[in-house]
Each structure stands twice: as structure tokens, then as C-alpha cells.
């Protein structure tokens, strides 16, 4: 009898797992890279020498690389690679040289050149783009794409973007970049959580910045603006060394700005961007102060950690670990603002904001946020009201270029 019950239980577990897998598999977004053999895509790509702007995140739903897929169907002659390199193995801010991969030239766009040169573009007729963004303005892949589009416009080379989801969905939150803070980590006046796919971004800047690039976007099938990465049915490939999971992309949106102060965000631990702390802080006091604010969609745990590298390497750091309990309710830039403000209130003499960073004059914190309000101590309520107005205006401005409902 006992043996029979064990067998029945095993069968039920297998049936449940199969049912769950089937349910999960019912909905899957079809990526732009998965449409390259459709007739309209063939018209764009066939008979052309193709360049490909990509890295390890350029894969289809079966984890086949876009490099492999384009080589199989078309004439791929060169690769163009942003910060972190072709395989996402280069640390943030570190430059790397051009090289070859499987006999294909790999052109670094994060070395001596940030833009493709005329010589590089002589190797191609059409530039294809397949790379995964994380949905936050101060991530550099959008800037590299903008430079590619500008140089392709000059060289009269077409750009074809194979679209991918915004992992944070279509929500637009936070401040719109102020012109005086334009740098390579933020070229255009977008909200901090910009809500755009890479294809929508390309369409928007091509028109509004008068780039004049011959642009085509191979859109996705089955993606809507309400969907987060977790809804897509797609596997996540780390987009850079410190964004190993889709969940990390959300935490990056919640602590990425605060990390440009002298606070640690957990870089150097197994969970980058999940923490905020400093050696001078008291974990229990920080948790108590944040709990009092009763923030929607987030919870906190008093945490102690020792980074293996980066800020406070080898030192005991105290603060909080951040748990996003409802991804649709949490406002990521506002959470970042409140986290930093809370530390500043508790430790006004110890919290510092270093000057100069990202190849520009000024405070790193301001450059990342896109304005000086956080460093200058503007009240959260006042800042957030202004941000909501800025995002509403941006949403109307970008509306003609949105590809998905």
C-alpha cells in the first residue's frame, strides 16, 4: 500500500510539473531575431553584407546566438560590441580592444572609439541590432546605438533593429534627464525608467534628434507594455557582469543612483544592487527608518555584508537588503531617492557624493539621476510631483513612436 501511494504521489508530481510547464509555455513573446526568415525581413537582409551590434544577450528563445543565426541565413561580415565586451566578461568602465571571433572582425565601441569609424562601416552594407537593454536610462547600450545610427546615417548605411522586450515593462518613472547632465550614460531627455524597447528608442531618437538614419524595426509578436520580463516566457541571459538575472534589473533601477555616492549597493557580493549600506550605518536603525515609510511593493531586512571587491572591499557593511514584493506597485526611481534620503537623514555627516565621473565634470549622483535634486536635498514629495508631470509629458511626446500597446 505504501509503495502504491509513493507511485501515485510521483505520478501526481510529474503531472503537476507537466501541467505547470505547459501553462508557462502557453504564452511566449516572439523576438525580432526569431522573425529574420520571414519575407519582409529577408527583403531587408538578403544579399547584404551585415554588421551586427550585439553581445552575449543577443539570443533567441532557444538560447541560440544572433551571431550564429545570422551567419546561417545571411552574410555576416562584422560584429560591433558595446561596454562589457562580446561575452559580457569585461568589468564596468573598462575599455577593451577590437579583435576577431571565429574569423569575424569584432569592433570595440568601448575602447579608443565609441563610434564605428568609416573604415569599420566600409565592411558592411546594413547594420543589424540585437542586444538586450535593462530599461534604465544610465545603461550605456542605448548610447552606443545612438552613435551607431549617427555614423550609419553619415555613411548611408541602413540600420535594422531586431526588437526585444523592455524587461521592466512600459512604465515611465523618475526624472526626465535635464540637458546640462547629458553624458554617455544619458544622451537624451528620457525618464530614468524609460519604458521603451530598443526599437522604439531608435525610432524616437531618429525622428526627434534628426539623425536621419535609414531605419527599420523588426517588431516582436506577443509583447504588451504591461508585461515584465517574467511574463514573456523567455530565458534571461545576463546583460552585463552585474545584471545576472531579470530580477537584478529591477534592483538596479532601485539602487543604481544611490550607488554613485559613498554607499555600497552590494557590488562585490553575490547579490549586486540588492543592498544599501555603509560601515558607519546601523542595520537595525536603517530598517526601522525605512519601515516607518510604509512604501508600496517593497520590504526590508536588516543586513550585514562584506564586499569582496568594490566599495568597502573587506569591510563589514551594515544597512538593508531590499525585497521587491510587488513589481507592478513599486516605483523604482522614487524608491532609490527615498533610500538615499533616509541614509542622509540618519547620517548627514558621513554620507558623501563624490565629484567627477563618467568622463564628465560634476557629481556622479547628478549625472546618474539626470538632475541635482537628490544631492541638493529636494523633498521627495516635491521632486516626485514634478517627475510625474515630466513623465506624463514625455509619454505624450513619445506616443507616435510606440510599437506596442
pLDDT at 400: 98
The residue ranking higher by pLDDT, 14 or 154, is 154
* Alpha-carbon gap, residue 129 to 147, rounded angstroms: 13
Question: Are 259 and 330 in a shared domain?
Answer: yes
Confidence of residue 355 (pLDDT cuts 50, 70, 90): confident
Please state at what angle helix 283-291 crosses helix 332-346, rounded to 10 degrees.
130
265 and 206 together in one domain: no
- pLDDT score for 9: 36
- Tell me, what's the pLDDT at 381? 97
91 and 40 in a common domain: yes
Whether 12 maps to a domain, the answer reads no
Q: What's the pLDDT tens digit per position in 121-135?
A: 999 999 999 999 999
Is the same domain home to 229 and 318? no
For 250-274, what is the mean pLDDT?
98
Angstrom distance (rounded) from CA 212 to CA 158: 10
pTM over 0.85: yes
Q: Is residue 379 part of a domain?
A: no
Confidence of residue 187 (pLDDT cuts 50, 70, 90): very high
**Number of separate domains in the chain:** 2
Residues 272 and 145 in one domain: no
The pLDDT of residue 361: 72
Clarify whether residues 306 and 361 are in a common domain. Answer: yes
CATH value at residue 67:
3.40.50.12170
Q: Does 383 fall in a domain?
A: no
Confidence band (pLDDT; 50, 70, 90) for 359? low
Q: Residue 47: is it exposed, middle or buried by C-beta count within 10 angstroms (0-12/13-18/19+)? A: exposed
Domain encompassing residue 299: 246-371
Q: What is the pLDDT of residue 22?
A: 32
- CATH code of 266's domain: 3.90.1150.140
Over the stretch 251-260, which tens digit does the pLDDT of each residue have?
Answer: 999 999 999 9
- The whole-angstrom separation of Cα 44 and Cα 187 is 28
Q: What is the pLDDT of residues 305-329, one digit of tens each?
A: 999 999 999 999 999 999 999 999 9
Same domain as 292, residue 168: no
**What is the per-residue pLDDT across 282-300, written as a single tens digit (0 to 9) for each?**
999 999 999 999 999 999 9
Q: Name the grid cell of 287.
A: 530598517
Pair 133, 224 in one domain: yes
> From the CB of residue 344, how many other CB atoms can be counted at a distance below 10 Å?
20
* H or E, element range at 92: none
CA distances from 278 to 17, 308, 369 (A): 43, 14, 21
Residue 2 pLDDT greater than 60, yes or no = no
Same domain, 319 and 365: yes
Q: Are residues 226 and 367 in the same domain?
A: no
Angle, helices 332-346 vs 380-398, to 10°: value is 160
Asked if residue 18 is part of any domain, the answer here is no
201 and 267 inside one domain: no
CA distance 405 to 170: 9
Asked if residue 130 is part of any domain, the answer here is yes
State whether 217 and 126 are in the same domain: yes
Mean pLDDT score of the chain: 92
Amino acid at each position: 500500500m505504501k509503495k502504491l501511494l509513493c507511485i501515485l504521489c510521483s505520478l501526481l508530481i510529474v503531472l503537476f510539473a507537466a501541467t505547470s510547464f505547459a501553462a508557462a509555455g502557453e504564452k511566449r513573446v516572439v523576438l525580432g531575431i526569431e522573425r529574420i526568415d520571414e519575407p519582409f525581413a529577408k527583403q531587408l537582409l538578403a544579399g547584404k553584407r551585415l554588421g551586427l551590434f550585439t553581445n552575449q544577450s543577443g539570443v533567441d528563445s532557444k538560447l541560440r546566438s544572433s551571431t550564429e543565426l545570422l551567419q546561417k541565413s545571411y552574410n555576416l561580415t562584422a560584429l560591433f560590441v558595446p561596454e562589457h565586451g562580446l561575452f559580457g566578461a569585461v568589468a564596468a568602465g573598462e575599455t577593451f580592444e577590437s579583435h576577431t571571433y571565429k574569423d569575424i572582425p569584432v569592433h570595440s565601441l568601448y575602447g579608443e572609439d565609441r563610434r564605428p569609424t568609416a573604415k569599420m562601416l566600409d565592411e558592411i552594407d546594413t547594420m543589424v541590432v540585437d542586444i538586450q537593454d535593462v530599461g534604465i536610462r544610465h545603461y550605456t547600450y542605448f548610447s552606443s546605438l545612438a552613435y551607431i545610427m549617427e555614423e550609419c546615417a553619415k555613411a548611408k548605411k541602413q540600420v535594422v533593429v531586431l526588437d526585444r522586450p523592455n524587461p521592466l515593462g512600459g512604465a515611465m518613472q523618475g526624472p526626465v534627464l535635464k540637458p546640462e547632465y547629458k553624458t554617455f550614460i544619458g544622451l537624451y531627455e528620457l525618464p530614468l525608467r524609460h519604458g521603451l524597447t530598443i526599437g522604439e528608442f531608435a525610432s524616437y531618437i531618429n525622428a526627434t534628434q534628426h539623425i536621419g538614419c535609414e531605419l527599420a524595426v523588426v517588431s516582436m509578436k506577443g509583447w504588451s507594455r504591461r508585461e515584465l520580463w517574467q511574463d514573456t516566457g523567455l530565458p534571461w541571459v545576463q546583460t552585463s557582469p552585474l545584471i545576472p538575472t531579470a530580477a537584478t534589473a529591477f534592483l538596479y533601477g532601485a539602487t543604481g543612483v544611490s550607488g554613485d555616492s559613498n554607499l555600497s549597493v552590494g557590488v562585490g557580493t553575490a547579490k549586486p544592487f540588492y543592498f544599501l549600506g555603509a560601515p558607519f550605518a546601523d542595520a537595525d536603525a536603517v530598517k526601522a527608518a525605512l519601515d516607518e515609510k510604509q512604501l508600496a511593493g517593497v520590504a526590508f531586512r536588516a543586513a550585514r555584508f562584506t564586499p569582496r571587491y568594490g566599495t568597502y572591499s573587506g569591510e563589514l557593511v551594515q544597512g538593508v537588503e531590499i525585497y521587491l514584493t510587488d513589481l507592478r506597485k513599486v516605483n523604482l526611481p522614487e524608491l532609490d531617492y527615498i533610500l538615499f534620503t533616509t541614509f542622509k537623514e540618519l547620517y548627514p555627516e558621513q554620507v558623501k557624493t563624490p565629484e567627477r565621473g563618467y568622463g564628465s565634470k560634476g557629481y556622479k549622483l547628478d549625472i546618474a539621476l539626470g538632475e541635482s535634486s537628490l544631492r541638493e536635498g529636494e523633498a521627495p514629495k516635491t521632486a516626485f510631483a514634478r517627475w510625474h508631470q515630466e513623465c506624463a509629458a514625455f509619454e505624450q511626446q513619445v506616443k507616435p513612436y510606440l510599437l506596442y500597446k
